[in-house]
Amino acid sequence: MTPSIFEPVSTPAYAIRELAFFVLGLTGAVFVVVTALVVYTLVRFGRRRDDDGSEPPQVYGSARIELAWTVVPFLLVVILALVTTRYIYGIEGREQPPEALEVTVVGNQWWWEIRYPKLGIVTANEIHVPAGDATRPAPAFITLQSADVVHSFWIPQLAGKMDVIPNKTNRTWIDPRKPGVYVGQCAEYCGVQHAWMLLRVVVQPRDEFDRWVATQQAAAASDPATHAGARLFASLACINCHTVRGTPANGVFGPDLTHLMSRHTLGAGVARNTPEKLRAWVEDPEAMKPGALMPPMKLSGDELTQLTAYLLTLR
């Protein structure tokens, strides 16, 4: 799952790779020529063993040579600037088509809130989008906001990064053409757990995506077997920070937990979403992600078992 910028699956990332090859070609050529020149000079004009200590001819300059090596780089720069500008406008200047999926991403210390305003979905750390293809792209336009400090939204295989800045709304777009899971993470230092603010984009065939949407839109499951855990959740401070749609819990400081178990990871990527890890997270988030803002709830073993059982029903 290496997020290489040279393995794009979405138009902005393809465009950037194309541009990158052009730039690498240009700079590579310059590198080869100049290196060869330097190597030749060092080898050819090293002092010989039989050097008599006399000074070589002193050459003070040459207007013609100096003009040439000013003009040629200048022309290269002009070409590069023109090509670059075309790509800037092509990628950043793209208008949002009417059929685009709209996603809002809100960066928090140290997790991502993901909202689909038109679909009524709120989730965390994992974005699902339908896959398009070269003939029928499926663009998703992403609005970027921050709840606290500056973050940066980066999934290399899908697009270049865009900062997530408080008091400023940014915008980026992707149109993945191949199903799969594409990883990324926050790319602007945002505090102690910047390293574990991971991102996953799950690109699914259209029918799978529609099923995911339907699941996410539903209210929370309610299983009488886990009633004890549900009651614990409601009575503890959990509801102050977390939302579980269909229950009184409507806190907004932490991730929406309505469909917690539909996600691959916990703690914005710090652990896989398994029952054991979930239990350990609830018991002491600090142990898995030092500095995380969720406090340990100091529950007894039984309380922990009941609460975890309840959370496991939130699919």
Residue ranges in 60-89 that form contacts with other proteins under rule CB under 8 A: 60-62, 65-66, 69-70, 73-74, 77, 80-81, 84-85, 87-89
- 101, 116 Cβ separation under 8 angstroms: yes
The two tokens of residue 278 are 């979930």
What's 284's DSSP letter? Answer: -
Please give the residues from 207 up to 266 whose contact with other proteins meets the rule CB under 8 A: none
Which one, 65 or 219, has the nearer CB to other proteins?
Answer: 65
Q: Does 163 engage in binding with other proteins (CB under 8 A)?
A: yes
* Among positions 10, 11, 108, 193, the unique one binding other proteins when judged by CB under 8 A: 193
Please give the residues from 133 up to 162 whose contact with other proteins meets the rule CB under 8 A: 148-150, 152, 154, 156-157, 159-162
Q: How far apart are CA 96 and CA 81, in angstroms?
A: 26
Q: How far apart are CA 43 and CA 219, in angstroms?
A: 75
* Among positions 117, 120, 246, 290, the unique one binding other proteins when judged by CB under 8 A: 290
Q: Does 37 engage in binding with other proteins (CB under 8 A)?
A: yes
* Among positions 11, 123, 145, 185, the unique one binding other proteins when judged by CB under 8 A: 185
Residues 6+ apart with CB under 8 A from 153: 105, 107, 112, 142, 144, 161, 162, 163, 164, 172, 184, 186, 187, 199
How many residues of this chain bind other proteins (CB under 8 A)?
88
Q: Which residues pair with 271 in a beta bridge?
A: 266
48-56, 213-221, 234-242, 253-261 -> range binding other proteins (CB under 8 A):
48-56
> What Cα–Cα distance (Å) separates residue 281 from each residue in 47, 119, 221, 234, 237?
68, 30, 21, 18, 16
Q: Does 181 engage in binding with other proteins (CB under 8 A)?
A: no
124-132, 190-198, 255-263, 297-305 -> range binding other proteins (CB under 8 A):
190-198
